[in-house]
Structure 1
């Protein structure tokens, strides 16, 4: 059966697949799997979201509880906020799912939560480098993972053996993604710079624009591009930023220093320093 990106699944994913959380990430995975005919059982704490996923054909069955979403499945995917992982893992562990993947943006706390629930031997953390500033099932799309990089991590002392690693890699390749392994702490350090810094930078710039009396309707393509992330759901980022603070705070301090340096250069008409900065960043972005 052709999938959402025109490919045919190679049979690497045997269902049923249980998915706890049917927002952008979980909902998109449910859409992709169902498009290939993989049975999907989905759970959402929002009954309207669960019904929307069923009505869209993304899930064939609505699980009444988190525990039920993990019962009798071959794969259990947890696509909930990071702060919910300890409770969700503990509930699902009672159903003893044989393979568990989470989609958390920060992997060290996700791995710790899985170990705390006794799921370490069957769990791997996965962070697909995709998403949307929108939230909820309505923002999901079946082809979201096609061609997407997916960072995978395991506990510092690898539990479950290499067989599980290979199965998790095959799972992501089957939906068209490009998996690669990374140390969890290194992943989280990178995400502070690559994801969390752009987010709060967009928030800060949008706030300054509002203070200047501007609205999005006043912006051109550049302003809209730079502030796109400012439209992200606050609850999602409030769930992540406390965990990334140790790596993010020094970056924000350096951003403040760099902004002050640029302000001084402009005030002092030091156009050579400004030109050096502009040339450096253009080279970084385009080469």
Structure 2
């Protein structure tokens, strides 16, 4: 029997989840977005089956509702759903990056009959919008599920069953634990990266050479600072408590680093760098973590006419999409001058195979 799914927020993540559900289930997917053109585009691409204008009307007949909007908007949508009478029977899930505020509201709305399970698929893309949605976007990514205090095991199993087409790795946790974990491995690094860029920007006013030199490794280690300012200001506001604790902890860490540098003790400095290197090297290489990894391939090419177009033509012939291309002015130890960025590791590895067969020297950083 065909079931109805209502997708509220038709973008990259919502669209990818919709495609994964369609792959495994006999469903009709209805899409609503404040930007009507996003819904129209999703229908043309086959991501959704029908564009919705009235959320309340369609929610009343839905079997599953996915809220794929920013956290602040999700809270408003939850209130709209809870106001429907009689109470909707659908299982409701969200995809927000923070969970405390959402699950606090879910506790309140449970008394009104709203079955809600918080969710956070920890994957994304360097592109945005429903045009970039893929059924396999979340494959092997961690997918948090945060039930509320009255959620049954049956509801959790139902959520996993709906989402089985994502091929994600499900983690069930308390909302606060989720917010701490994502805070330390995702939200906090974004703050640090932005602060490094700000310090560099301040010095670049008087020393213009900084901008040229920062085109190398510095630009790489701060790439996450190029993420959406609106999204990250919302995330930081929502996870304020954990991030303040982490920032105070970081201040203490920096005081310790200052002491190491002031003392000039080679042994202390060695242990500081060695400890960081050992832990970093122990992290999984091929896993999808909290921060979406960059699928980059470095290629050594000669500075001559047609060199760049030859590479792009080779990849285009194999239908491999390059999502970004940059020529490195500062190499810093890399035997390469060209960096190609791809949607995922599969495209990158295929590109490397093709280019190596054409005798190009290539390199992947881990």
What TM-score results when the alignment is normalised by the length of structure 1?
A: 0.85
Is residue 86–residue 114 contact of structure 1 (8 Å, CA) maintained in 2?
no
Relative to 1, partners in 2 of residues 1:207 and 1:135: Cα closer, same or farther, differing over 3 Å? Answer: farther
Q: Which of 134, 138, 151 is residue 145 of structure 1 equivalent to?
A: 138
Shift of 1:276: 1.0
Matched, 1:44 2:40: no
Matches of 2:191 and 2:126, distance apart in 1 = 13
Q: Name 1:4's counterpart in structure 2.
A: none
Matches of 1:179 and 1:120, distance apart in 2 = 25
Q: Name 2:98's counterpart in structure 1.
A: 106
The total of aligned residue pairs comes to 272
Gaps of 5+ in 2: 205-209, 283-366
Matches of 1:181 and 1:47, distance apart in 2 = 34
Q: Which of 96, 103, 113 is residue 88 of structure 2 equivalent to?
A: 96
Matches of 2:96 and 2:89, distance apart in 1 = 18
Matched, 1:236 2:225: no
Q: Name 2:13's counterpart in structure 1.
A: 25
Matched, 1:258 2:253: yes
Is residue 145–residue 172 contact of structure 2 (8 Å, CA) maintained in 1?
yes
Q: Name 1:225's counterpart in structure 2.
A: 220
Is residue 17–residue 163 contact of structure 2 (8 Å, CA) maintained in 1?
no
Matches of 1:17 and 1:218, distance apart in 2 = 47
Matches of 1:134 and 1:212, distance apart in 2 = 31
Matches of 1:120 and 1:193, distance apart in 2 = 34
Matched, 1:194 2:182: no
For each residue in 1:251-286, what CA deviation from the matched residue of structure 2 results, as whole angstroms up to 9, or x when unmatched?
112222322332342243223222112111111122
Q: Name 1:277's counterpart in structure 2.
A: 272
Shift of 1:173: 2.5
Q: Name 1:3's counterpart in structure 2.
A: none
Matched, 1:130 2:126: no
What TM-score results when the alignment is normalised by the length of structure 2?
A: 0.68
Give the strand-richer structure, 1 or 2.
2
Is residue 24–residue 137 contact of structure 1 (8 Å, CA) maintained in 2?
yes
Matches of 2:121 and 2:212, distance apart in 1 = 29
Gaps of 5+ in 1: 1-12
Q: Name 1:268's counterpart in structure 2.
A: 263
Matches of 2:212 and 2:95, distance apart in 1 = 31
For each residue in 1:136-195, what CA deviation from the matched residue of structure 2 results, as whole angstroms up to 9, or x when unmatched?
33443332111111111111x223x22111111222323211112111221112222121
Relative to 1, partners in 2 of residues 1:20 and 1:216: Cα closer, same or farther, differing over 3 Å? Answer: farther
Is residue 67–residue 91 contact of structure 1 (8 Å, CA) maintained in 2?
yes
Shift of 1:78: 0.7
SS in 1 for 2:6: strand
Matches of 2:265 and 2:58, distance apart in 1 = 61
Relative to 1, partners in 2 of residues 1:124 and 1:225: Cα closer, same or farther, differing over 3 Å? Answer: same
Give the helix-richer structure, 1 or 2.
1
SS in 2 for 1:85: helix
Matches of 1:225 and 1:139, distance apart in 2 = 23
Shift of 1:133: 5.6
Relative to 1, partners in 2 of residues 1:170 and 1:265: Cα closer, same or farther, differing over 3 Å? Answer: same
Relative to 1, partners in 2 of residues 1:177 and 1:68: Cα closer, same or farther, differing over 3 Å? Answer: farther
Matches of 1:139 and 1:263, distance apart in 2 = 44
Shift of 1:212: 3.3
Q: Name 2:337's counterpart in structure 1.
A: none
Shift of 1:247: 1.1
Comparing both chains, which one has the higher relative contact order based on Cα–Cα distances under 8 Å and sequence gaps of 6 or more?
1
Matches of 2:268 and 2:165, distance apart in 1 = 49
